[in-house]
Chain A
């Protein structure tokens, strides 16, 4: 029996492919979550370093977003205020010394967004963490400025050594040591703007992990590897954990989605790699601190890790066995 007519659509209904529901966690929300989790270290930095810190942060934010806008215009792409430029700007500022000249901060922000991020294709395509790329660039360009530290809460801004520098003399006396731990935990020490307060960073980390924004595997494997190796060299593990940018870097930098591996196992390998390189630089390197470079090196290794570390597809083992 041949069909005699086609039933044509009588109604114009909107159609879309499934799934028809969405979790609702957008890229933008993720970015604003990260910004929110950066509030504690940012607040701590303003408490400890005052107006200087505030100016560095503002300069970095303004130039990051501005550069993003210009770069999108040049590339003929729409500019979306998705918060990713703000995250990069804030991350960069928080890794700089509070005494940094503001024009240098601006140069760093322009480099982070313009070169490290947009020149590679923008969010999702960059190989290196933009903030860390810019930090490395600034260290190469303005070596003295980048390694001049002041004590936190010092009114007259005398230069001081960070706890990881050779000139820093450890006290072996128990009480003094406890006081040192406490100062480092709160953030009353020399260092980059946002990295000094372990407490503030840990608050941010708890928020990010609790809301499923970052994978705990990276900071945990990273920090544990570093302090385990340093402890083997006879260093104090707690001081190693809280000194330098280890906490800040492992929580906020190494966990950057775009520049870290995508699988759980890959992330553990990534974290261990970061920890290993950090420890090697701390122990043998000419630099006082290795967090920035170790993450950058592992950023470059992330695509390789993703290539070889993959989940096992459901049912694969059996198929191989049957074929054999």
Chain B
């Protein structure tokens, strides 16, 4: 069987300058911070509730917050020390407040006793899923949906194809790239666990062809361990890593509007999530750290292994500080990342990148109907319509024009000659439609 398949390319999308400054830089361990700020909701779903008290001593890896609601994920102490306070963080860009626990480090990093699985081969699916849940796993590509829920599709949805997403299509970010190179073996073991749970016919690992070294490395590992996985190299194009675009590019199938990939028998999992599945099952280790790319206008861009809850300031300082004044600090990539107003905001489970970027000021002009946004849109929409509708308050027309189909990738806005922040208008429309639906 051929491990490496033919390179695929999506029909639409946009070619971006990659700027993968840190692709060749091995991951470094960031020194432990003095304190970590752990938001109790680092996932989609019900927020977790604190299970330890103020002043209590905690060990690294100890569960400090949990929820009984099905769609949720526990939070673990990412260093040992004392719970010093409970705080409220303001989450950009919505301004919503989230509860967060502050743990002061004792500097010793004493771990709880981990319970590695003695015989992974004999674990039942239920046991694997339980370990995934207890480790607090969420989708680490940014969506942060609780992993064990995603791995339990309803019975009638048979998963034929699992796509492991290592495409990393946003410019600058190299966290997944480094993970595949440095933790390839662990990641593939994680992928195999996912395969065991879902029992699909095919497992594809999708990687953009700007990461040739990662493709070759995984190819060797797969052939050495004789895994039934196939690598699909993808021509680098944005937003190829978006689930629905990925499904269409690889399988040629479209996920129905409002549906999930499982509706066409597919499931997409991020590579970092798979590595975390390995940690959770083989080592019994909860999700308390992740790889973060620190890049852009910093003195020395790096890939860092960071304890969750570390303030972004620590990462930037470790990389020699910012090289431009008045720069934007973005968590995530340049396309979908969110600008932060506070350097003390912590790294969370879904944060794959800190991008420091000189801020630009644009003024919006009238649309000249050039059609670039329509050409670019991978979701087959006419993005130009939404700003026009929103400005007039015609939200129903946004809905009729399938605004909910938008994945907010930002490609339309990137290419707009009139500098219309189209995605922002779309977000406004979606929010207003949700508000109106809730009112009814």
Contact = CB atoms under 8 A, between A and B. Distances in A.
Interface of A: 1-7, 9-23, 25-27, 29-30, 121-125, 215, 257-258, 260-264, 267, 310-319, 322
The prevalent SS among residues of B at the interface is loop
25 contacts: A3-B88, A4-B85, A7-B100, A9-B344, A12-B341, A13-B328, A15-B341, A18-B336, A18-B338, A18-B410, A19-B413, A19-B414, A20-B335, A22-B362, A23-B414, A27-B368, A122-B366, A264-B375, A267-B371, A311-B374, A315-B258, A316-B257, A316-B402, A318-B263, A318-B264
Given A257-B369, A314-B244, A314-B248, A7 B414 contact: no
A14 B326 contact: yes
A318 B254 contact: yes
B328 A315 contact: no
Contacts of A23: 14, 414-415
A267 B402 CA distance: 22
Given A7-B88, A20-B355, A258 B369 contact: yes
Contacts of A122: 366
Contact of A13 (B258, B342, B362, B410): B342
Interface stretch (B117-125, B201-209, B380-388): B380-388
B359 A16 contact: yes
A22 B86 contact: no
Contacts, number: 200
B405 A314 contact: yes
A9 B334 contact: no
A17 B402 CA distance: 22
A13 B419 contact: no
How many chain B residues sit at the interface, stated as a range, is 35 or more
B377 interface: yes
Contacts of B23: none
Q: Which 3 A-B pairs have the closest CB atoms?
A: A124-B366, A19-B410, A15-B339
A7 B342 contact: yes
A19 to B, nearest CB: 4
B115 interface: no
B142 interface: no
Given A3-B99, A13-B340, A20-B339, A314 B369 contact: no
A23 to B, nearest CB: 5
Contact of B16 (A3, A21, A322): A21
A59 to B, nearest CB: 26
Contacts of A314: 244, 248, 254-255, 257, 378-380, 405
B46 interface: no
Contacts of A312: 380
B371 A16 contact: no
Interface stretch (B89-97, B154-162, B173-181): B89-97
A16 B87 contact: no
A123 B366 contact: yes
Given A315-B259, A315-B405, A13 B380 contact: no
Interface in B64-104: 85-90, 92-93, 97, 99-100
Given A27-B365, A257-B369, A322-B256, A17 B86 contact: no
Given A19-B410, A22-B360, A125-B366, A319 B257 contact: yes
A126 B426 CA distance: 25
A71 to B, nearest CB: 15
B86 A215 contact: no
Given A18-B335, A314-B254, A7 B37 contact: yes
Contacts of A318: 254-257, 259, 263-264
B280 interface: no
A263 B415 contact: no
Contact of B380 (A5, A264, A316, A319): A316
B384 to A, nearest CB: 7
A261 B17 CA distance: 29
Contacts of B50: 1
B200 interface: no
Nearest to A5: B87
Contacts of A27: 365, 368, 417-418
B236 to A, nearest CB: 15
B54 interface: yes
B295 to A, nearest CB: 12
B337 A1 contact: no
Nearest to A20: B334
B171 interface: yes
B370 interface: yes
Contacts of B371: 215, 257, 261-263, 267
